[in-house]
Amino acid sequence: MNETETAILVDRITVDYNGVVALHDAELRVPRGAICALVGMNGAGKSTLFKAIMGFLKPAGGRVLIEGQSVAQAQRKGRLAYMPQAEEVDWAFPVSVQDVVLMGRYGFMNILRTPRAIDKTKVTESLERVGMSDFRTRQIGELSGGQRKRAFLARALAQDARIMLLDEPFTGIDAKTEGAIVTLLRELRDDGYTIVICTHDLASLASFCDEVALINRTVLAYGPLETTFTPDNIARAYGGIFNHLVFDAGAGQAIPRQALAARARGTQPAADQLGGR
């Protein structure tokens, strides 16, 4: 894989918080136009890696390259979009949905942030794409869980950033919204977007993710789903195999059976087929 095909390169980074090493010698390559899942237990360094890629913290050693540039350069050009976890957002903040989506455009506006016609157009388009046009003037606290995710997804879209990092995008939302978001992510990926998802949901990620990275204090393994999401790697990340993942050892590949079937069908497995959700 050459430089231009790599959207995100994590080159042996080490991160420590006040003396505690959260991540050491972590290495990751995410190709352009792929959906990559970061998985691992809480406290194992997943969100640390996420933050290092976003540039929210500086690694003590190693470097992160976004499309061949440093994170700071990528930030200045607005190449990275970020969707926060629901817990991190102050839903009582007095801003409306369109206020939030407009915030995605601030990097393009002048110092006083006066919106131009193109900014307003982008906001409207993004809202339409996620189906939130009717809610644009609502204060964000008035939205349901699924609508909240979609509002922040619209912000990421409005930013015109080709690399999107989503923090726990599927936690606490209804199945319909989840389906809608997955469909949208697939469309974006087909358009050439690179999407990184931080997630706990092992059972469903196999149905729409192309790449996965397993994290436990370092990146234990990363790469295409088929070769990386193996029982061995999962065991190393989680200390064992979960009850709700059943592996089809008979086939040459070892991925969860439901996901294998879903891929063959070209659909996402139904909620009741995925145990443990």
Q: Is 82 in the site for another protein (CB under 8 A)?
A: yes
Determine if 134 is a binding residue for another protein (CB under 8 A): no
- Applying CB under 8 A, does 242 fall inside the site for another protein? no
> Which of the stretches 103-111, 181-189, 243-251, 256-264 binds another protein when contact is defined by CB under 8 A?
103-111
* Number of chain residues interacting with another protein (CB under 8 A): 50
Q: Kindly report the number of other CB atoms within 10 A of residue 261's CB atom.
A: 14
CB of 251 to another protein, least distance (A): 28
CA distances in angstroms from 10 to 25, 34, 75, 119, 259, listed in the order given? 9, 16, 16, 32, 28
The tokens of 164 are what? 């999107």
Q: Which stretch binds another protein (CB under 8 A): 96-104, 125-133, 168-176, 245-253?
A: 96-104
Closest distance to another protein from the beta carbon of 252 (Å): 28
Q: Which residues pair with 81 in a beta bridge?
A: 164
274: nearest Cα among 236, 234, 232, 244? 244
Binding residue for another protein (CB under 8 A) from 75, 124, 133, 230? 75
Q: Which H or E run includes 81? A: strand 80-83
Pairing relationship of beta strands 194-198 and 35-39 according to DSSP bridges: parallel
Q: H or E stretch including 129? A: helix 117-129
Residues numbered 206-235 forming contacts with another protein, rule: CB under 8 A: 216-218, 220
C-alpha 30/C-alpha 28 separation (Å) is 7
Structure token pair of residue 73: 């350069």
CA distance 157 to 161: 7
**Nearer residue to another protein within complex by CB, 81 or 180:** 81
Q: How far is the CB of 164 from another protein (least distance, A)?
A: 10
**Torsion angle (degrees, nearest 10) of CA 80, 154, 176, 185:** -40
Residue number, 90 or 272, with CB nearest to another protein: 90
- What gap in Å lies between CA 15 and CA 23, rounded to an integer? 5
Tell me the CA distances in angstroms from 248 to 201, 252, 263, one per residue in order.
19, 9, 14
Task: Provide the minimum distance between the beta carbon of 265 and another protein in the complex, in angstroms, as a whole number.
Answer: 34
Task: Tell me the closest approach of the beta carbon of residue 116 to another protein, in angstroms.
Answer: 14
- Using DSSP's 3-state secondary structure scheme, residue 145 falls into helix
Distance CA 166, CA 201 (A): 13
Tell which one of 41, 118, 175, 251 touches another protein (CB under 8 A).
41
Candidate residues 112, 191, 250, 266; the one interacting with another protein per rule CB under 8 A: 112
In the complex, what is the shortest distance from the CB of residue 235 to another protein, in angstroms, rounded to a whole number?
10
Near another protein in 12-31, by CB under 8 A: 12, 14, 18-19, 21, 24-25
Nearer to another protein by Cβ, of 38 and 260: the residue is 38
> What is the binding site for another protein (CB under 8 A)?
12, 14, 18-19, 21, 24-25, 41-44, 54-56, 60, 75-78, 80-82, 84, 88-90, 92-96, 99, 103-104, 106-107, 111-113, 139, 141, 155, 159, 216-218, 220, 236-237, 239
